[in-house]
């Protein structure tokens, strides 16, 4: 009987310990989730500010609208499409054949 009481006491203690650990982890997770949400909002704001600053800087430096030149600047623009089409060319001189043209017979 005494051994049974000791086992029950150990199980009760383990149960209370696990419950307190679980509550601490829930609190920790809630804090991390709130922090993540805050950081994500700050990140999205910074991305918008950076794109706005990039556009303003480009317009100030060139006097042109960036939308007219996005295909030349953007990775997914005109030059990026060539890479997606299977042509790995980066447009450098090393990509072109420098041998003289073949003579027609």
Does any domain span residue 97? no
Does any domain span residue 60? yes
Q: What is the pLDDT of residues 3-33, one digit of tens each?
A: 999 999 999 999 999 999 999 999 999 999 9
Q: What is the pLDDT of residues 83-98, one digit of tens each?
A: 455 555 555 445 445 5
Q: How many domains does the chain have?
A: 1
pLDDT of residue 96: 47
Domain limits at 29? 9-84
Q: How would DSSP label each residue in 17-62?
A: HHHHHHHHHHHHHHHHHHHHHHHHHHHHHHHHHHHHHHHHHHHHHH
Number of other CB atoms surrounding residue 58 within 10 Å: 17
pTM over 0.75: no
């Amino acid at each position: 009987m005494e051994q049974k009481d000791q086992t029950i006491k150990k199980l009760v203690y383990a149960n209370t310990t696990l419950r307190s650990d679980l509550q601490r982890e829930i609190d920790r997770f809630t804090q991390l989730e709130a922090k993540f949400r805050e950081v994500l909002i700050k990140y999205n704001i910074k991305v918008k500010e950076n794109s706005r600053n990039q556009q303003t800087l480009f317009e100030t430096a060139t006097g042109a609208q960036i939308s007219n030149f996005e295909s030349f600047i953007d990775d997914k623009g005109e030059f990026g499409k060539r890479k997606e089409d299977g042509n790995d060319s980066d447009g450098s001189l090393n990509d072109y054949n420098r041998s003289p043209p073949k003579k027609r017979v």
